[in-house]
């Protein structure tokens, strides 16, 4: 297992290229199961989660070739010969459940292991299952697996979600493309990753309207065809690196960044005294003047403030002037970075889904433990601003969602290295 050692204190300056979105790629890849012809994704990120989805698709009989050093994924599902997504792979990554909708829609049956909970919450998949049942799927939960079939094919219907779910919207959107008739998805997720998926499916011949709004309408077609699609920019990687000059001082231009992907987050940065400018090449960020100011943050589905940027924002607010209140409204256990930040001298009080952060002048380096993906990177951000050395242990979580994090930060002047844990 690797650790990352950060020596804090330097103002960081430079350019950081932003990769394609992990969360978009993880739903675009299973879309290959919907067609006989090849689907090629460009601008793919190079991450361990992408390797896991590759292994899952290959285990079903799909061909997945990683080209141009992993930037291009060429996939083909013309010879799917296994309809079971096994526990051994699914348990590694919750997004594995996204193969269920496509397999059911094209092959009429599937057996997919239930993914189970994870560090940030219980994360059930009931909404995925109810939505597929609304399209006529017959589901049976046995031996830790969802046994699904749709003998006469899926049929269009009305899917009304009681709460917004990104994954469930993606699963049923993919399934509906091959269902007979019209499907209306109400209270659909509006995340940019949903819009990206809908655009890719449309390139494959799907008939979809309304993505990016709360109601998506899909007119089912008999078959989808091959396509090439570029993965949308990773708004969470973008937001994370935008916080670098905010927390250390200096100025960073995030290449390929788009403010429209991170609107609510930019409003909070502005309130905190951070300048954000859209340039021709990306997004340029620096402090307006002096110390960062405290701000209150509530996580919400898009277009609200993303839960996936809450930990990183908390790291910034640990050194802000004043007291900030962060409310986590998506996941029930997403403050595990708080005790680790406290080890670095932060003043944080957690009560249920609310964290109250009283800013300190300076954090102090310490050995800390990464508990999940965004928690890991929040500790690196804190380490960049802290006095002395921070050792972030168990960084394998980090490699799920950030490619070459040390290289990207070192290029801006950070003292950061990856070492093997003793
Ligand atoms: C691979 C991927 O894209 N992951 C993202 C996706 O996760 P994911 O798609 O798993 O998140 P959801 O939007 O589904 O979850 C939102 C909330 O709904 C609950 N829920 C969800 C499904 C369900 O069947 N039943 C249920 O109760 C969840 O426990 C959670 O409390 O969106 C989350 C919310 O923006 C992000 O944090 C994740 O990074
Ligand atoms: C929670 C995340 O991912 P996943 O849904 O894959 O666990 C994330 O990207 O922050």
- For the chain, 422 residues long, the average pLDDT of each consecutive 10-residue run is 95 98 98 98 98 98 98 97 96 96 98 90 95 98 97 96 98 98 98 98 98 98 98 98 98 98 98 98 95 97 98 98 98 97 98 98 96 96 98 93 96 96 64
How far is Cα 50 from Cα 12, in angstroms, rounded to an integer?
29
pLDDT of residue 421: 67
Per the residue annotation, which of 118, 254, 266, 412 is the catalytic one?
118
Angle at 404 between CA 401 and CA 405, to 5 degrees: 75
pLDDT of residue 289: 87
Contact between residue 16 and residue 52 where contact means Cβ atoms under 8 Å apart = no
How far is Cα 365 from Cα 146, in angstroms, rounded to an integer?
46
Token reading at 19: 């990769």
pLDDT of residue 420: 86
- Tell which residue, 417, 413, 421, 391, has the closest CA to residue 405: 417
- The phi and psi torsions of 258 (rounded to 5 degrees) equal -130, 125
How far is Cα 229 from Cα 41, in angstroms, rounded to an integer?
5
3-state secondary structure of 172: helix
Q: How remote is the CA of residue 194 from the centroid of ligand 1, in Å? A: 13
Query: Among all ligands shown, which has an atom nearest to the Cα of 169?
Result: 1
How far is Cα 241 from Cα 264, in angstroms, rounded to an integer?
16
Token reading at 169: 């919207």
Helix 310-317 / helix 263-272 crossing angle, nearest 10 deg = 0
Query: Among all ligands shown, which has an atom nearest to the Cα of 92?
Result: 2
Q: How remote is the CA of residue 124 from the centroid of ligand 1, in Å? A: 9
- Tell which residue, 84, 79, 86, has the closest CA to residue 63: 79
Question: Strand (E) positions, 336-388?
Answer: 347-351, 354-358, 367-369
Token reading at 80: 């799917």
pLDDT of residue 290: 86
**Exposed / middle / buried, residue 141 (Cβ in 10 Å: 0-12, 13-18, 19+):** exposed
pLDDT of residue 422: 61
Q: Helices (H) and strands (E) in the chain — how many of each? A: 13, 24
3-state secondary structure of 213: strand
Q: Which residues line ligand 2 (CB under 6 A)?
A: 23, 94-95, 118, 308, 373-374, 401
Contact between residue 290 and residue 272 where contact means Cβ atoms under 8 Å apart = no
Residue 247, annotated as binding a ligand: no
How far is Cα 126 from Cα 91, in angstroms, rounded to an integer?
17
Is ipTM > 0.90 here?
yes
Token reading at 379: 């500790």
Q: Is 118 a catalytic residue?
A: yes
Query: Among all ligands shown, which has an atom nearest to the Cα of 353?
Result: 1
Q: To test the ligand 2 pocket, which listed residue (128, 166, 308, 402) has its Cβ within 8 A of the most ligand atoms?
A: 308
Beta-carbon-side half-sphere exposure of residue 387 (alpha carbons within 13 Å): 8
Q: Which residues line ligand 1 (CB under 6 A)?
A: 23, 26, 94-95, 121, 123-128, 163, 165-168, 307-308, 330-331
What secondary structure does DSSP assign to 340-351, as a single string?
HHHHTT-EEEEE
Q: Which atom of ligand 1 is nearest to the CA of 127?
A: 24
Q: Which domains are seen in the chain, by residue range?
A: 2-19+233-420 (3.65.10.10), 22-230 (3.65.10.10)
- Tell which residue, 85, 84, 176, has the closest CA to residue 136: 176
How far is Cα 243 from Cα 59, in angstroms, rounded to an integer?
39
Q: How remote is the CA of residue 289 from the centroid of ligand 2, in Å? A: 34
């Amino acid at each position: 297992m690797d650790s990352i050692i950060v020596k804090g204190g330097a103002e960081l300056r430079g350019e950081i290229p932003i990769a394609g979105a992990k969360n978009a790629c993880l739903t675009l890849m299973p879309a290959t199961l919907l067609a006989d012809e090849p689907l090629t994704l460009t601008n793919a990120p190079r991450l361990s989660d992408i390797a896991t989805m590759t292994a899952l698709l290959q285990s079903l009989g799909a061909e997945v070739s990683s080209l141009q050093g992993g930037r291009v994924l060429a996939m083909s599902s013309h010879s799917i010969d296994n309809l079971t997504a096994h526990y051994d792979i699914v348990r590694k990554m919750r997004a594995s459940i996204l193969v269920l909708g496509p397999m059911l829609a094209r092959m009429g049956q599937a057996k997919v292991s239930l993914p189970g909970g994870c560090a940030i919450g219980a994360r059930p998949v009931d909404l995925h299952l109810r939505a597929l049942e609304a399209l006529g799927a017959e589901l049976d939960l046995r031996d830790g697996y969802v046994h699904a079939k749709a003998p006469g094919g899926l049929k269009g219907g009305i899917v009304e979600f009681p709460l917004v779910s990104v994954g469930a919207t993606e699963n049923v959107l993919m399934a509906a493309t091959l269902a007979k008739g019209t499907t209306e998805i109400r209270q659909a997720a509006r995340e940019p990753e949903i819009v990206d998926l809908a655009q890719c499916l449309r390139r494959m011949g799907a008939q979809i309207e309304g993505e990016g709004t709360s109601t998506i309408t899909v007119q089912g077609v008999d078959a989808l065809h091959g396509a090439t699609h570029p993965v949308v920019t990773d708004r969470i990687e973008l937001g994370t690196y935008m916080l670098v000059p905010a927390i250390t001082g200096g100025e960073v231009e995030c290449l390929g960044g788009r403010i429209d992907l991170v609107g609510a987050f930019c409003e909070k940065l502005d309130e905190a005294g951070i300048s954000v400018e859209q340039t021709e090449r990306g997004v340029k960020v620096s402090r307006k003047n002096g110390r960062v100011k405290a701000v209150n943050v509530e996580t919400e589905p898009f277009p609200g403030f993303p839960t996936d940027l809450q930990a990183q924002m908390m790291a910034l607010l640990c050194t802000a002037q004043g007291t900030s209140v962060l409310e986590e409204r998506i996941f029930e256990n997403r403050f595990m970075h708080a005790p680790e930040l406290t080890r670095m001298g932060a003043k944080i009080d957690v009560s249920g889904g609310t964290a109250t952060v009283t800013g300190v002048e300076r954090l102090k380096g310490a050995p800390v433990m990464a508990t999940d993906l965004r928690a890991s990177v929040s500790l690196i951000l804190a380490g960049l601003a802290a006095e002395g050395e921070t050792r972030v242990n168990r960084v394998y979580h980090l490699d799920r969602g950030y490619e070459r994090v040390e290289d990207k930060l070192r290029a801006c002047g950070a003292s950061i290295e990856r070492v093997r844990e003793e």
